[in-house]
Amino acid sequence: MLEGGVHFRLWAPKRQRADLVLDGGSIVALDPEPDGYFSGEVREAGPGTRYRFRLDGAPNYWPDPASRFQPEGPHGPSQVIDPDAFEWTDQAWLGIRLEGQVIYEMHIGTFTKAGTYGAAREQLRELRDFGITCIEIMPLAEFPGEFGWGYDGVDLFAPAHMYGTPDDLKQFVDDAHKIGLAVILDVVYNHLGPDGNYLKEFSDWYFSNRNTEWGEALNFDGSHSENVREFFIENAAYWIREFHFDGLRLDATQQIIDESPTHVLVEIGRAAREAAGSRSIILVNENEPQHAKLVRPVERGGYGLDALWNDDLHHSAVVALTGKSQAYYTDTPGRPQEFISAAKYGYLFQGQRYSWQKQRRGTPALDLDPAQFVVYLENHDQVANTGRGQRMHQMTSLGKLKAMTAYILLLPGTPMLFQGQEFASSAPFLYFADHDPELSRKVREGRLEFLAQFPNLATPEMQQCFSQPNDRATFERCKLDFTERQKNADIYRMHRDLLRLRRDDDVFRAQSPHSLDGAVLAEEAFLLRYFGENGNDCLVLVNLGRDLNLQVTPEPLLAPPEKTRWQTIFSTESPGYGGCGTSEVETEHGWQIPAEAAVVLKASPQSQFQPEIKFQPEIQDKKKL
């Protein structure tokens, strides 16, 4: 912005001429610069001015590839935004580090009935009080239509207009910081959407001759890729600098193809951290082949990012809870040892053969810290991949769900909840995208082809049950109903209390490397022992099967530290969580572990030992649910 005008700059190396067309009809010729740039100062433009570009005098007008706002969507005019107009109040906010975070994945359009930043802001304090520390917003880059997931964005610098204005988004982040909540943004640098993507009008060099799962790969290492790299690197910095985001979640990084000496992800990470200044940010990866180098320091040959989603653990949990082991669930049978290994080492596959893909999966990751693995039972992809958008509580018994939830939320990894999971939302999360009819048909066919890897979903009868992605009713069905916090108060309370235990107990809060061990107790039961300082140990018993009675226990991890006894401090079978009650777990006759339950015990000095449960749920809590 200029005082009394706006400076415009455009990269269009395939064009000989570029004109700025203002909404009132004025046309301003831009001056050519080296390397295919055009620029000019326009005194009659200012905040709110709408504009397009005309290229080589042709009759078509195109939106700005680096537009800060598209008030009419990707096919309409761009709008000038003053990046300095918003008055931030978060100057004291220092940002976040990975350790200690509890992430909450949110889709702005379905998180509330209104589906706006403003409506989502009204829930921030409830999320904070519940135990969330960091919100992860699904992609916001402008995309076509009135609703969608956001992974088909085409204007990477323009926050989606259907959720509100750029200042509305800034207010969301500012309000979150005001109450101690961090916010990170999901960004897509592996492809662009098929509708409204006008980059080729300006330069063919944006894309390479290679392909990703979603079409043409972006050109990060080919001819004239320097400007393309700059575009995406600056985009990462832009979200951190102008919107004060506390980090990014990088979508499908295995599809960001770059064989340069310095991978573009390294430069994205550097630029994002530089944009944050004195604030600390986190950079999270989704990476299907599980490349541990993404989160190793650059000086050790890594990319210098922070965390990785752990699909291995998710897959094991799904099989253990549902018994379904088709497609990419084939190689994780959900046995107790998998949950012990995941707790200790993160990824289950770190270079072993993976029969589903007929190749080795993963890379060695034994040196990574536990917090570098993001762990979850649900996320947007996995809920939608059930075909009918089913939540985990709809696919297993309540007892098993609660037991696995306790295991996940107390792991030394970084836990993540998907919106509504915490109160067993009845809203599905389906694939929805408001494309034109022909593109919608192709998208639906592609979706059905993907889901056909699951034999039970490949039948014509089942596929007829799938919702149409471009049907607004599909989108509306996915919206949360917050009255279910009260309707399902038991499960909501249990999630909240687990997060409180994680936050308040020194042993669970530590997330220390090599601080736990585990043992298999039975075909569907296992234990994890968390080692604290001075014998301040904790024991997590998880039983996904029938009542387990162990009269003899030749397992040293069950033995309490010297001069202590185990005291039960949490049980998923507490009446406060809708359970049937838990009696003594360790008795003079051995161990009695209830069916489909998780129990947490803590070492207490024998003189202070009290048999009753100490970590009771707040049944009489007056706090609004």
Using pLDDT thresholds of 50, 70 and 90, give the confidence band for residue 623: very low
Domain with CATH 2.60.40.10 in the chain: 6-62
Query: How far is CA 172 from its chain centroid?
Result: 18
Identify the pLDDT of residue 618. 54
Identify the pLDDT of residue 617. 62
Average pLDDT over residues 34-46: 96
Average pLDDT over residues 198-222: 95
609: how many CB neighbours lie within 10 A of its CB?
13
Task: Give the tens place of pLDDT for each residue, 427-470.
Answer: 999 999 999 889 988 888 889 889 999 988 888 888 878 899 99
Task: Give the tens place of pLDDT for each residue, 172-203.
Answer: 999 999 999 999 999 999 999 999 999 999 99
Question: How far is it, in rounded angstroms, from Cα 499 to Cα 503?
Answer: 6
Burial category of 125 from C-beta neighbours within 10 Å (exposed 0-12, middle 13-18, buried 19 and up): middle
Query: How far is CA 379 from its chain centroid?
Result: 7
Q: Which CATH superfamily is domain 512-608 in?
A: Golgi alpha-mannosidase II (2.60.40.1180)
Burial category of 377 from C-beta neighbours within 10 Å (exposed 0-12, middle 13-18, buried 19 and up): buried
> DSSP H helical segments within 179-309, as ranges?
199-202, 225-243, 264-276
Mean pLDDT for all residues in the chain: 95
Using pLDDT thresholds of 50, 70 and 90, give the confidence band for residue 582: confident
Identify the pLDDT of residue 609. 44
Q: How far is CA 413 from CA 92, 418, 516, 529, in A?
A: 28, 16, 12, 15
Q: Considering only 63-72, 235-244, 447-456, which range has the smallest mean pLDDT? A: 447-456
Question: How far is it, in rounded angstroms, from Cα 245 to Cα 182?
Answer: 8
Identify the pLDDT of residue 2. 65
Q: How far is CA 7 from CA 18, 46, 166, 429, 544, in A?
A: 14, 10, 20, 43, 63
CA angle in degrees (0–180, nearest 5) for 500-505-508? 95
Q: Tell whether the model's pLDDT for residue 611 goes beyond 50.
A: no
Identify the pLDDT of residue 453. 93
Strands 373-375 and 414-418: parallel
Average pLDDT over residues 327-354: 97
Q: What is the DSSP letter of 98?
A: S
Bridge partners, 7 (sequence order): 41
Using pLDDT thresholds of 50, 70 and 90, give the confidence band for residue 588: confident
Q: Which position among 174, 286, 378, 497 bears the catalytic label?
A: 286
Question: How far is it, in rounded angstroms, from Cα 473 to Cα 295?
Answer: 40
Question: How far is it, in rounded angstroms, from Cα 42 to Cα 7?
Answer: 6
Residue pair 20/42 in contact (Cβ under 8 Å)? The answer is yes
Q: What is the DSSP letter of 30?
A: P
SS3 513: coil
DSSP result, 315-349: HHHHHHHH----GGGTT----HHHHHHHHHHS-S-
> What percent of the chain is predicted at pLDDT more than 70?
97
Residue pair 290/347 in contact (Cβ under 8 Å)? The answer is yes
Q: What is the DSSP letter of 394?
A: G
Q: What is the DSSP letter of 148?
A: B
Burial 525-536 (b: 16+ CB within 10 A, else e): bbbbbbbbeeeb
Domain with CATH 3.20.20.80 in the chain: 103-497
Report the first-to-last Cα separation within the chain, whole angstroms: 46
Residue pair 30/8 in contact (Cβ under 8 Å)? The answer is yes
* Tokens coding 514: 């090599």
Identify the pLDDT of residue 440. 87
Question: Which sign does the torsion angle of CA 9, 12, 13, 15 carry?
Answer: negative
Identify the pLDDT of residue 444. 87
Using pLDDT thresholds of 50, 70 and 90, give the confidence band for residue 620: very low
Helix or strand run (H / E) with residue 600: strand 597-605
Please identify, in words, the CATH class of the domain defined by 6-62.
mainly beta
Residue pair 137/184 in contact (Cβ under 8 Å)? The answer is yes
Q: Considering only 14-18, 24-28, 121-125, which range has the smallest mean pLDDT? A: 24-28
Instruction: Tell me, yes or no, if 524 is annotated catalytic.
Output: no
Identify the pLDDT of residue 445. 87
Q: Tell whether the model's pLDDT for residue 44 goes beyond 90.
A: yes
Q: Tell whether the model's pLDDT for residue 608 goes beyond 70.
A: no
For the chain, what percentages of helix, strand and coil (3-state, to nearest 5) are there? 30, 20, 45
Q: Which position among 175, 186, 195, 251 bears the catalytic label?
A: 251
Task: Give the tens place of pLDDT for each residue, 485-504.
Answer: 999 999 999 999 999 999 99
SS3 80: coil
Query: What is the Cα gyration radius of the chain?
Result: 26
Identify the pLDDT of residue 398. 97
Question: How far is it, in rounded angstroms, from Cα 380 to Cα 207?
Answer: 28
User: Does pTM top 0.85 for this prediction?
Assistant: yes
Q: Tell whether the model's pLDDT for residue 51 goes beyond 90.
A: yes
Question: How far is it, in rounded angstroms, from Cα 331 to Cα 79?
Answer: 50
Question: How far is it, in rounded angstroms, from Cα 569 to Cα 93?
Answer: 35
Task: Give the tens place of pLDDT for each residue, 122-136.
Answer: 999 999 999 999 999
For residue 600, give the nearest of 507, 496, 492 by alpha carbon.
Answer: 507
Question: How far is it, in rounded angstroms, from Cα 38 to Cα 44?
Answer: 18
Instruction: Tell me, yes or no, if 251 is annotated catalytic.
Output: yes
Q: Does domain 103-497 have CATH number 1.10.1670.10?
A: no
Question: How far is it, in rounded angstroms, from Cα 203 to Cα 207?
Answer: 9
SS3 574: coil
For residue 568, give the nearest of 592, 589, 597, 599 by alpha carbon.
Answer: 599
Question: How far is it, in rounded angstroms, from Cα 541 to Cα 317?
Answer: 16
Average pLDDT over residues 209-219: 92
Identify the pLDDT of residue 619. 46
Identify the pLDDT of residue 599. 98
Identify the pLDDT of residue 202. 98
500: how many CB neighbours lie within 10 A of its CB?
16
Q: Tell whether the model's pLDDT for residue 606 goes beyond 90.
A: no
> What percent of the chain is predicted at pLDDT more than 90?
89
